[in-house]
Amino acid sequence: MRYLLLIYTRETDVEPSADEAAASHAAYGAFTREIRERGLLQAGEALTPTSTATTVRVQGGEIVATDGPFAETKEALGGFYLIEARDLDEAIETAAKIPAASVGSIEIRPIWELPAEFAMAAGETGHEVGAAG
Amino acid sequence: MFIRPEDPHAVVDRLFREEQGRAVATLIRVLGDFDLAEEAVQEAFITALETWPVRGVPDNPGAWITTTARNRAIDRLRRRRVLAEKAELLGRQALIEEELAAIDPDAALDGAETMSPIVDDRLRLIFTCCHPALAMDARVALTLRTLGGLSTPAIARAFLVPEATLAQRLVRAKRKIRDAGIPYRVPDSHALPERLDGVLRVLYLVFNEGYGASTGDRLIRRELSAEAIRLVRVLGSLMPDEPEVMGLLALMLLHDARRETRTGPAGELVLLEDQDREHWDRERIAEGQALLERAMRMRRVGPYQLQAAIAALHDEAPSAAETDWGQIAALYRILGEMAPSPVVELNRAVAVAMADGPASGLDLVERIAASGQLDDYPYLHSTRADLLRRLGRRAEAAAAYRRALELTANGPERTFLEGRVGELGRATA
């Protein structure tokens, strides 16, 4: 089964020190390597802070773009991994190893595998990402 | 072989409790479908009710149920296959049918008794139903429904929720198991202690719901406790090397032994100190004590063993006054260190009050009250009230009883508290 692991952390205005940033990159590097070697990794990206986010809605046929995320929340989406795991237990075990799990939280969402006829385009993209990962 | 003629209806009733969980568990493993498994097993029991009174009870009724349920499941799958069009589905179904046909009901039955390395399907089912990714109320409902075979209306009545709400809860839980990929297996050894702890918590909650006095119907509550005891027994037979499973079973038995004396003829609450100890169930106490001793010998103490040890001290004492309260206070202290909780601290305060006098107990209670953690917990206020009453501080005691009353919905407990408020009122007037 495929699961999306959504990484939520508290955003701060304070820039991390060079040491902190290096430690964080090393930790994520090690985690990513491990799940790639285990054949779990399909995709994974880090996101820039929510201060760079734009929320789009269509209201009465008009595109309304606003600054920032829709709701003020304590923790913000900071990145994600898409993994292929045996079952929820393996997904939980994997999520727990994401460095942010000990300071923030990881939301695990099973991928809704749509039938091919409904998801032709999405399916093809998925294969490309899978092959690249 | 001569088989003692037994009323087939009684056999089916008894068997339903003992065997339905096992049959459902095996079918879920093969089918990967809770609903289909439950329906097939239900049909098998209906068939038993129809045929056994005519043809007699089979030699091995448990195996008969599993075989019949398996055949019913195959029938249902064949009917579905007629409707299925996709080759992929057909292939999967053929595979499932093959697996179903391969179920050996006798082997499944032998598994638990001979402690064979083959994992009993019920063990998988327990861990799936009590998976931490399910909400607690869903875990409880699912465990009682699939493992216990309690009907949806009975569970709804026990937890005072509308039947539709409970049915919805079950549907959602089963859907999450399927869609989120909650596995049907016993967790790996590194995750086992934590997950087993979660299972024990669900079973203890079921027992307490049946034992405690927070909900209505007496018969259903008794059934809940009995079911919790039965399920821990099954778990204990499947995991014989886990002292906390044994400890929980001991704890339940040692409490359940006092069940009949906890309420008076009119359903009113009878406190431990006023209970008729002659009517405590000695057989249950002996079984609980033996289990606790066996668990303790494994030298891996845990919260359930400690609570069972406390219950055993109560059960052994000829009266409240002759209870070893010092030992009980010490056990609560260890329990509090192992799993810190204000409720445990409150219990320790009660034991200290009995051992060293109400003033020492009250000191501890006031400290808990000052922390504000248990402000909505009626027993904090009723305990405080009782200690104040014993110290002769009647006005304060009456106020604390009234606060406890505000927080109590249960009939017998309310009657008890109202009685105390009345006594104090009369005495001060």
Nearest to B181 among A88, A93, A112 (CB): A88
Give me the pLDDT at residue B110, please.
44
Chain A: residue whose CA lies nearest to B195: A89
CATH of the domain at A53: 3.30.70.1060
| pLDDT score of B169 more than 90 | yes
Residue A121 placed within a domain: no
* pLDDT, greater one: B15 or B303: B303
Question: How confident is residue B108, by pLDDT bands cut at 50, 70 and 90?
Answer: very low
Number of domains in chain A: 1
Give me the pLDDT at residue B20, please.
87
Task: Report the range of poorest mean pLDDT among A80-84, B13-17, B385-389.
Answer: B13-17
Share of chain B above pLDDT 70, in %: 90
Beta bridge partners of A79: A7, A46
Cβ A89–B191 below 8 Å, yes or no?
Answer: yes
Each residue's pLDDT tens digit, A4-63: 999 999 887 778 899 999 999 999 999 999 999 999 999 999 999 888 888 898 999 999
Task: Report the range of poorest mean pLDDT among A98-102, B163-167, B331-335, B421-425.
Answer: B421-425
On chain A, the residues whose CB falls within 8 A of the CB of B183 are 86-89
On chain B, the residues whose CB falls within 8 A of the CB of A108 are 180
Element counts in chain B: helices (H) and strands (E): 20, 0
Cβ B181–A93 below 8 Å, yes or no?
Answer: no
Residue A130 placed within a domain: no
**CA distance, residue A115 to nearest chain B CA (Å):** 13
CB pairs under 8 A between A and B: 26
Residue A19 placed within a domain: yes
**CA distance, residue B276 to nearest chain A CA (Å):** 49
**CA distance, residue A11 to nearest chain B CA (Å):** 27
Give me the pLDDT at residue B160, please.
81
| pLDDT score of B114 more than 90 | no
Q: To probe the interface with A, which of B175, B182, B194 has the most A CB atoms within 10 Å?
A: B182
Give residue A65's domain range. Answer: 2-110
- The single residue listed with the structure tokens 């304590």 is A74
On chain B, the residues whose CB falls within 8 A of the CB of A88 are 131, 133, 180-183
Residues in chain B whose beta carbon is closer than 8 A to a beta carbon of chain A?
131, 133, 179-183, 187, 191
Distance CA B265, CA B282 (A): 21
Q: What is the mean pLDDT of residues B162-167?
A: 95
**CA distance, residue A4 to nearest chain B CA (Å):** 11
Q: What is the mean pLDDT of residues B407-424?
A: 86
Residue A127 placed within a domain: no
Residue A122 placed within a domain: no
Give me the pLDDT at residue B5, please.
58
Chain B: residue whose CA lies nearest to A112: B179
Query: Which residues, 6 or more positions from A9, have their beta carbon under 8 angstroms from its beta carbon?
Result: A75, A76, A78, A100, A103, A104
Q: What is the mean pLDDT of residues B278-302?
A: 96
Nearest to B179 among A92, A93, A110 (CB): A110
Q: Which long-range CB contacts under 8 A does B344-352 form with residues at least 24 apart?
A: B346/B374, B346/B377, B346/B379, B346/B380, B346/B383, B349/B383, B350/B383, B351/B325, B351/B326, B352/B325
Distance CA A128, CA A112 (A): 18
Each residue's pLDDT tens digit, B360-415: 999 999 999 999 989 999 999 999 999 999 999 999 999 999 999 999 887 778 88
* pLDDT, greater one: B18 or B227: B227
**Is the CB of residue B345 less than 8 Å from the CB of residue B368?**
yes
Residue A128 placed within a domain: no
Cβ B182–A85 below 8 Å, yes or no?
Answer: no
Question: How many CA atoms lie within 13 Å of B191's alpha carbon, on the beta-carbon side?
Answer: 16
**CA distance, residue A109 to nearest chain B CA (Å):** 8
Residue A78 placed within a domain: yes
Each residue's pLDDT tens digit, B347-361: 999 999 999 999 999
Distance CA A92, CA A101 (A): 11
Residue A46 placed within a domain: yes
